[in-house]
Structure 1
Amino acid sequence: MTPLLKTAAAVAASVFLLGACATGTPYQRPDAAMPGQWSTAGSNDASLRTAAAKSDVSTDWWKQFGSAELDRLMVQAVAANHDLAAAISRIAQARAAAGIVDANRSPSIDVAGSAARTRSNQSPIGSTSAGTQSSQLSATVAYELDLWGGRAAASDAARARVDYSVYDRDAVVLLTQAEVASNYFRALAAKDRLAIAGQNLEAARSVLSLVELRYGKGADSGLELSQQRTSVLNIEAQIPQLEQELRAAQTALAVLLGQAPQGFAIEGESLASLRLPALAAYQPAALLERRPDIRRAEASLQAAHADIGAARAALYPNLRLSATAVAGGVLTSGSSLASSLAASFAQTLFDGGRLRGQVLQSEARRAELIEQYLQSVLTGLKEVQDSLDAAAFGETRRSLLARAASESQEAYRIANVRYKSGSQDLLTLLDSQRTRLQAEDSRVQADLARFSAAVNVYKALGGGWVGNGEG
């Protein structure tokens, strides 16, 4: 074995021995105190516990509402939403950046060639000499040994940032799906409220016709006539607002689908055409794996942890090996070969504390991200608990408002009959008319709240995301 090869073998062996000197430490997930179970409240405590024991959130959770149109909207949103497309592009950027970092761990190979021809002005007259020719080809292989694990740590950080971008994409998908469902339900509720307002307006106009007839016969005064006209106008004034709410929900849907909002409209007509699914909640500890935003926060923390290893490695010496081979006369018949092996050593003796400051900065960044991760866990717990409570209390509220709407319809019917028979004044009829409209409108809003709460439960639980980290 030549001395050069012996030297190279010795240096290579030292890499394995110095591998134990890596400056990084294994990552450990921060300890987040997780409750053993969710608190349940309201009339459907038992149903929530039963559902939690029996089922899990499906990957296509929106199909539980039983709307083929909603299914189509979800497919369109995932395919065309611009925020989602931007998130996918960020994954490609992160992967490209990780590739660049990984490339720094590989040897570099440079090849160079040269050729020259010279003619001397001192050649004798009549000489046939064409001068001299020279040519050479050189190849250099250089490699910086990762003695302290700094480059490996940089690669770990880059891969963690790829994971971050993937989890970010998944979070955008979940948010987009939840917004599509919520705005679809808002649009259907607006149509229901418009239908109720239209029915009440028709009834109020019918009463107005009766009042006008009685006024013409002197049975009612101008006061009753003005009161009923006011009631009709108030109902009419609600319709433009409800139409605006319908249009706002539909334009929001269009944007989520990546479409221009002008002219977009849904086909569905009523919330009554949907079914409200039974809610299921897995154990709180599962949130750490099931919510993409929590996994995203942890990926950012993992990257910061790896950055500390890279910053610490920069405090230590670096060793660079290079091997060069030069072939001369490659374009002529005669050729020569020369080779060399070199090692260079570098260590920063004084930098005013720059490298040490980078370590401290990385450690402080990790401390910050630990707190952000723990806060994201608490936020997730709160969102699940709030959505479960909203679903539970919303069911109770909707039941009471449905009964109130039924009673108000009966009260209006009785008041209308009595007014027509002359046994009751118009003021009582107007009051029952107003109460009926408010009760029926509140019932629809309570229905919307139940559907919105169900969407929020699915979103808070991470939807059907399985956390595989694939892009």
Structure 2
Amino acid sequence: MQAGLSAAYELDLWGRIRSGIQAEEFRAEASFYDYQSAAMTLSAEISMTWFQLLTAQKQLELTNQQIETNEDIIRLIRARFTSGQIRAVDILRQEQLLESTRDQKIFYETEVSLLQNQLAVLLGRPPQNENFITERNLPELPPLPNTGLPLELIRRRPDVQQAYNLVLAADREMAQAIRSKYPRLSFDLSAQARSNNYNNLFRDWAYTLAGNLVAPLLYGGRLRAEVDRTEALKNQQLYLYGQTVLTAFREVEDALIREQKQKERIEVLERRLDLAQKTNKQLRLEFLNGLSEYLDVLLSLDQEQQLQRDVLDARQTLLEHRISLYRTLAGGFETERTDSVEF
């Protein structure tokens, strides 16, 4: 009968093992914040795709209305052509506008189908052209959120917290490398039993102890190089952390500026659209009374319809800027790990 037992244990005299454990804990925390960043990115992508789909649907409805308007105008000017009040080239020009509008319709039909497929994939569903449209109007933009103090932004941004934890992990790895230069005190216990006789109990303790004490002297250059390497990595992570903080501040300011300027642009587009509608109405009256050429009416109509599409696109862009602002502020994020986070 024979049985054996072995065990090894190292006394953490200088905190080398503890530093290694702390480094891994900080890296695990950084991975959690990386998961938060990915979840926020996915949420923002889903929201943007939803508003793009809603806008494409509105553009398709608008294009159908414009096609009906252009067809009505063609019927009108053809009737005037038979009475000799309009030239044939004017009919051709109006038909060109009609075909251009039909081309726009095909474009938006394609966009609706593609965005439905994209949204389905983002939601984890097979792209089978599901109909996601339940609300036909773009939502009203809520008031601007409170951006808070810069320190609050740093605390709630997961990418900043990830970079910070990577700095802490690099610092602990550097501490581990420094403490590896010191002698170690470890024990290797092995025992063997055969017919109730024990041999070599506490074997090689002296050799193990001597080796651990002398090893830092023999490998001093390599251990110092490891310290320099970990210090360089720590400085790199520290610089990356500082850059991440500055980028976070810039992204918030950029989002605020974009939203403000987009609101101003929408106001300008709406004024232009109002003026184009009034101009088009006046030119139609003049054309019916024989006071203006139909080319002026055609150009005015084309401009009005393009402005209608531009206003819809601008409102969608404004919503996307607001989503970007929410994302940069990183507010209202909850996970299974954190039941509620105050932002």
| TM-score normalized with structure 1 length | 0.65
Pairing of 1:354-369 with structure 2 (within 5 A) = 354-369=222-237
Task: Find the counterpart in structure 1 of residue 95 from structure 2.
Answer: 229
Distance 1:255 1:291 in 2: 27
2:283 maps to a residue whose letter is A
SS in 2 for 1:268: coil
Task: Find the counterpart in structure 1 of residue 295 from structure 2.
Answer: 427
2:201 maps to a residue whose letter is S
Distance 1:137 1:384 in 2: 68
Aligned match for 1:168, one of 20, 34, 38: 34
Distance 2:98 2:304 in 1: 14
Q: 1:469–1:385: structure 2 CA closer, same or farther, 3 Å change rule?
A: farther
Give the conservation status (yes or no) of the 8 Å contact 1:398–1:443: yes
Q: 1:271: Cα distance to partner?
A: 3.4
1:162 maps to a residue whose letter is A
1:257 maps to a residue whose letter is L
Aligned match for 1:213, one of 75, 79, 83: 79
Q: 1:317–1:469: structure 2 CA closer, same or farther, 3 Å change rule?
A: farther
Q: 1:445: Cα distance to partner?
A: 1.5
Give the conservation status (yes or no) of the 8 Å contact 2:11–2:185: yes
1:377 maps to a residue whose letter is V
Aligned match for 1:275, one of 140, 152, 159: 140
1:371 maps to a residue whose letter is Y
**Alignment length (residue pairs):** 331
Q: 1:291: Cα distance to partner?
A: 0.6
1:288 maps to a residue whose letter is I
Q: 1:381: Cα distance to partner?
A: 0.8
- Higher alpha-carbon deviation: 310-319 or 451-460: 310-319
Structure 2 residue runs of 5 or longer lacking an equivalent are none
Q: 1:316–1:455: structure 2 CA closer, same or farther, 3 Å change rule?
A: same
Structure 1 residue runs of 5 or longer lacking an equivalent are 1-134, 330-334
Alpha-carbon deviations, 1:42-80, whole Å to 9, x = none? xxxxxxxxxxxxxxxxxxxxxxxxxxxxxxxxxxxxxxx
Q: 1:348: Cα distance to partner?
A: 4.0
- Higher alpha-carbon deviation: 458-467 or 177-186: 458-467
Pairing of 1:315-464 with structure 2 (within 5 A) = 315-329=181-195, 335-336=196-197, 340-341=201-202, 342=205, 344-345=208-209, 346=212, 347-351=215-219, 353-464=221-332
Q: 1:327: Cα distance to partner?
A: 4.6
Pairing of 1:126-141 with structure 2 (within 5 A) = 135-141=1-7
Task: Find the counterpart in structure 2 of residue 118 from structure 1.
Answer: none
Distance 2:193 2:338 in 1: 48
Distance 1:244 1:213 in 2: 35
SS in 2 for 1:141: strand
SS in 2 for 1:353: helix
Task: Find the counterpart in structure 2 of residue 123 from structure 1.
Answer: none
Q: 1:284: Cα distance to partner?
A: 1.8
Distance 2:241 2:84 in 1: 75
Q: 1:435: Cα distance to partner?
A: 1.6
Give the conservation status (yes or no) of the 8 Å contact 1:166–1:469: no
Q: 1:419–1:249: structure 2 CA closer, same or farther, 3 Å change rule?
A: same
Q: 1:148: Cα distance to partner?
A: 2.2
Task: Find the counterpart in structure 2 of residue 302 from structure 1.
Answer: 168
Aligned match for 2:17, one of 151, 160, 163: 151
Q: 1:362: Cα distance to partner?
A: 0.9
SS in 2 for 1:181: helix
Alpha-carbon deviations, 1:337-360, whole Å to 9, x = none? 678343522214334833222211
Give the conservation status (yes or no) of the 8 Å contact 1:186–1:448: yes
1:455 maps to a residue whose letter is I
1:222 maps to a residue whose letter is A
- Aligned residues with identical type, % of pairs: 27
Q: 1:321: Cα distance to partner?
A: 1.3
1:430 maps to a residue whose letter is L
Distance 1:470 1:299 in 2: 17
Distance 1:395 1:454 in 2: 11
Task: Find the counterpart in structure 1 of residue 178 from structure 2.
Answer: 312
1:447 maps to a residue whose letter is R
The answer as to 2:44 corresponding to 1:183 is: no
Give the conservation status (yes or no) of the 8 Å contact 2:181–2:220: no
Give the conservation status (yes or no) of the 8 Å contact 2:113–2:129: no
Q: 1:236–1:468: structure 2 CA closer, same or farther, 3 Å change rule?
A: closer
Higher helix share: 2
Q: 1:216: Cα distance to partner?
A: 2.6
SS in 1 for 2:132: coil
2:181 maps to a residue whose letter is L
Task: Find the counterpart in structure 1 of residue 114 from structure 2.
Answer: 248
CA RMSD of aligned residues (A): 2.3
User: Whose Rg is larger?
Assistant: 1
Give the conservation status (yes or no) of the 8 Å contact 2:70–2:97: yes
Q: 1:397: Cα distance to partner?
A: 2.0
